[in-house]
Amino acid sequence: MRVLLSLAVLLLPLLGATSCSVILPADAVQCEAAEDCIARGFPTDTRCNQQVCEAPPYDPIWGCLGMVEEPVAVPGETHMYSQLVVDALTGMPIPSLTSRLCSSVDVNCDAPLVEDVPITADGRMEVTVISGFRGYFEMTADGFMQTLMPIGPIVKDSDPGAEKVQLARTVVVESVARTAGFEVDPTKGHILALLASCDGFGRAGVSFSHDPASGDQFYLIGLSPDVTAPASDESGNSGVFNMDPGFVTLTATLHETGEFIGLQRVLVRAGSMTYMDLGPSSGP
């Protein structure tokens, strides 16, 4: 899974911050070997140079478009998936955090695959899954909006150094929505999405749509959600508030040309926030 949306960006206006948070640190690792680049969707002749994918003359930002292939599961193998989860306000572990691992088709997680996902003292979820697994974590904590985080297909062990997931307190989500001029409807669901390029970073100039259409779509422009903006700014942060519950497909395109970037189908549940990455994928 690519880098997850950092809610710290949405919190900055409420905290009075003067600088913008980033999704990845400047020295983010793209690869350790050429195979990592290929897994991201770069051509097979891509090289890993100082942990950066290079495929001259391909553009490292959008050069993988149209060449992304679905990851291939390895029958009989299992992989360790881990993800650090913290409080978006404090950056610290959340003592009351609990998590369940659910099948991608189990809308209400009535039959969790893991009822109580192990969470380390520093807030890291750890679980072993079969190769090719698709599903989602259902995360719950006192004072926080329930969060759904889709994962997969998982075809290798996850990177323990990957960006942390920052959960938002319910009052913060409600405050952010009000800055865009609407109230959070508890009977609806919500999405926060990172519009990412081939290298996993959020990018400007990306538009997205969602089907079936419902709710209030926005892009984070500067430090505020903007429901009138046509595309993302350099953060790549976006989302939809007050969506009808159910499965929804989000499709990302380059705003200027309309070129297809990627799509993803995710679950929206009433009273919950779904975190997702929306980056390059195989064709629609």
Taking alpha carbons only, the member of 101, 253, 243 closest to residue 177 is 243
In a domain, 139, yes or no: yes
Query: Is the model more confident about 12 or about 94?
Result: 94
Structural domain range at position 250: 182-278
How much of the chain exceeds pLDDT 90, in percent?
Answer: 68
Domains: count for the chain = 2
**Sign of the four-CA dihedral 214, 216, 218, 223:** negative
Query: Is the model more confident about 41 or about 126?
Result: 126
How much of the chain exceeds pLDDT 70, in percent?
Answer: 88
In a domain, 238, yes or no: yes
Q: Does the pLDDT of residue 264 top 90, yes or no?
A: yes
Structure tokens at 213: 């259409």
Q: Does the pLDDT of residue 47 top 80, yes or no?
A: no
Start-to-end CA distance of the chain, whole Å, equals 19
Q: Which of 98, 132, 167 is the last residue of a domain?
A: 167
What are the pLDDT digits (tens) for 77-113?
A: 999 999 999 999 999 999 999 999 999 999 999 999 9
* Residues 160, 142, 173, 27, Cα dihedral to 10°: -20
Q: Which of 121, 142, 167 is the last residue of a domain?
A: 167
86 shares a domain with 131:
yes
Distance CA 86, CA 92 (A): 5
195 shares a domain with 137:
no
Q: Does the pLDDT of residue 139 top 70, yes or no?
A: yes
Query: Is the model more confident about 123 or about 58?
Result: 123
Average pLDDT of span 197-209: 95
User: What CATH number did the domain enclosing 261 receive?
Assistant: 2.60.40.10
228 shares a domain with 163:
no
In a domain, 83, yes or no: yes
User: What CATH number did the domain enclosing 127 receive?
Assistant: 2.60.40.2190
192 shares a domain with 159:
no
Q: Which of 116, 133, 167 is the last residue of a domain?
A: 167
160 shares a domain with 120:
yes
Average pLDDT of span 36-51: 80
196 shares a domain with 271:
yes
